[in-house]
Chain A
Amino acid sequence: MRLKFILGLLVVVLLVLGGGLLLKQHLGNAPVPAPASSEAAAPPVVSNAVADVAPPPPPAPVSAAPVSSSLTPEQRQAAIDAELERLQLWSMNNDPASLSNILADLTGPEKEIREAAIEAAKQFGSTNAIPALKAAAVNSTDTDEQIAMLQAANFLSLPPLDFNAPKTPEEIQAMAQRQAAKEARRKANAQNRAAQSPPDQNPPMAPNP
């Protein structure tokens, strides 16, 4: 009776583990979505914020594209180059699958790919990459990589620069005051230089346009 119970329990555990493994492999190798089919040029972009992208699927247990040790150096470099190209494309997307692929490469066996994955995560621009970057930094044994991963996590924690963000009336007024003060300082400095220079040397600079 006890032996049967233990055997049954073992079968259940094995089934659960096997199912989990299959699920992880499936999520980790999610294909890159086909590009959108818009043919015409789109109107001017008004926002590139990607902070609201859905959380990525769990990262795969191994790199999305492991480079086999049985490859020749040329084949190995070709495989690395192909993955770098994929990373560049994923970094320009805004979908969870692309982010998941990028994050999987953070723990890949090739240093060149891991470095590119860090940069791709920065270019993707999602705060959802921060936990994976921090986790990869903890697990890395390369100090430079750890620093790069943590710096990337910090980078992603910052809000994106908005060149045309609307300003409040108070901000516009403060900005005008700063510019006026700056202009006054510049003119005062120019006058001081002119006053301190001998008349035949270092003539005062013309004011900027």
Chain B
Amino acid sequence: MKLTKILLCAAVASAMAFASSKATASTLNISGVVKTFGTTRTTSSAVIVTTKTVAFNNKTIYLALSNAIASAHPPAGLAQNLPKDGIIGFNPNAFDGNDVRGVFYVTNAPGKPFFYFALAGTDTNGDAYSYIELDTESELADLGYSFFEEDEDVFNWVYSYVETSKTFQETSTSAALLYIHDNPYDWDDAEFPWEWSFNSSFAIEIRGVMILNFNSNNTTDHVTVSLKGTGSSYTGGDDAVVTSGSLSFSGNVLED
């Protein structure tokens, strides 16, 4: 059984590596709903404090990160303007240069000049930086800071698979965390949640359950990731709550 697991890990690792280099029809969608403080007003007989509910999606996050990377909170020596119509992508197999697996990045829309900016890496001072992290641990993928400290089990997971002569289908269900923040040095919410949103102007965390599916047959390999959950948020210097949030990633892998 142990050998089987190791082989499966190897198969998935190679598949993920393949996905990183040859993925097609790759999609990444992040969205959610946040409840924040609304207005405060005082009448002759009462003080009225309200809340308001707002939504975020890829465009919202891209806007916030564009402003952060250009001027508000750039990594040391790496400030730059992102393309107006850029795309946030995710490479689940890449490492950020600091032993953290799973790298989000910004690239340009198809048909436009090549652009790439890693949303996690090392700045010109040699310090690690990161704006988005997906943390989880499972038989199929250890992502983010989940395995940074080898003696810690931050996330639990279960795992199933069906293998035939022609197909291979695996599913892992794991606790997971998506953390988006504009302070590039405020990383690792997984292991240090008590320092959450330190010095960030905005931050979003989605803690929940992540389902990773890997399907392989004679012609294609397909990876899908789905995370749904809730969490804390920080907007404009004030506390907020993510009442629902989700991340989905999908990528096909072409055979040679």
Interface, chain A (partner B; CB < 8 A):
34-36, 38-39, 41-48, 50, 74, 77, 81-82, 84-85, 88-89, 91-93, 116, 119, 122-123, 125, 155-156, 158-165, 167, 170-171, 174-175, 178-179, 182, 208-209
* Known A45-B63, A171-B40, A178-B239; further 20 A-B contacts with Cβ < 8 A: A38-B112, A41-B80, A42-B83, A42-B85, A43-B81, A44-B71, A45-B67, A48-B62, A74-B219, A77-B220, A85-B25, A85-B27, A92-B58, A93-B85, A119-B248, A123-B31, A155-B31, A161-B56, A163-B236, A178-B238
Which of A34, A158, A163, A174 touches B202 (beta carbons < 8 Å)? A163
Which of B109, B195, B250 touches A89 (beta carbons < 8 Å)? B109
Q: Which residues of chain B come closer than 8 Å to A48, judged between CB atoms? A: 59-60, 62-63
Q: Give Cα distance in the complex from A162 to B63, angstroms.
A: 9
Q: Are A39 and B25 in contact (CB under 8 A)?
A: no
Interface string of B48-92 (1 = CB under 8 A from A): 010011111111101110110011000000001111110100000
Which of B39, B63, B195, B238 touches A47 (beta carbons < 8 Å)? B63
Q: Give Cα distance in the complex from A156 to B182, angstroms.
A: 24
Q: Which residues of chain B come closer than 8 Å to A39, judged between CB atoms? A: 113
Q: Are B201 and A92 in contact (CB under 8 A)?
A: no
Q: Are A160 and B82 in contact (CB under 8 A)?
A: no
Q: Are B110 and A89 in contact (CB under 8 A)?
A: yes
11 contacts between A and B (CB under 8 A): A41-B82, A42-B85, A43-B70, A45-B67, A45-B84, A46-B63, A88-B27, A93-B85, A119-B248, A160-B55, A175-B237
- Sort chain B's interface into a size bin: 35 or more
Tell me, yes or no, whether B232 is within 8 Å of chain A by CB: no
Q: Are A158 and B236 in contact (CB under 8 A)?
A: no
Q: Are A158 and B81 in contact (CB under 8 A)?
A: no
Q: Which residues of chain A come closer than 8 Å to B31, judged between CB atoms? A: 119, 122-123, 155
Question: How many A-B residue pairs lie within 8 Å, measured between CB atoms?
Answer: 147
Q: Which residues of chain A come closer than 8 Å to B71, judged between CB atoms? A: 44
Look across to chain A and name the residue whose beta carbon is closest to the beta carbon of B56. A161
Q: Are A41 and B81 in contact (CB under 8 A)?
A: yes
Q: Which residues of chain A come closer than 8 Å to B24, judged between CB atoms? A: 81, 85
Which of B29, B64, B67, B201 touches A123 (beta carbons < 8 Å)? B29
If the complex has contacts A155-B31, A159-B55, are A175 and B37 also in contact, measured as CB distance less than 8 A?
A: yes
Which of B81, B236, B237 touches A44 (beta carbons < 8 Å)? B81
Q: Which residues of chain A come closer than 8 Å to B39, judged between CB atoms? A: 170-171
Q: Which residues of chain A come closer than 8 Å to B81, judged between CB atoms? A: 41-44
Tell me, yes or no, whether B33 is within 8 Å of chain A by CB: yes
Q: Give the top 3 A-B pairs by smallest Cβ distance, nearest first.
A: A42-B84, A174-B40, A163-B202
Q: Are B67 and A35 in contact (CB under 8 A)?
A: no
Look across to chain B and name the residue whose beta carbon is closest to the beta carbon of A43. B81
B206 CB to nearest A CB, Å:
14
Q: Which residues of chain A come closer than 8 Å to B174, judged between CB atoms? A: none
If the complex has contacts A50-B59, A163-B201, are A44 and B238 also in contact, measured as CB distance less than 8 A?
A: no
Q: Give Cα distance in the complex from A136 to B245, angstroms.
A: 23
Q: Are A81 and B25 in contact (CB under 8 A)?
A: yes
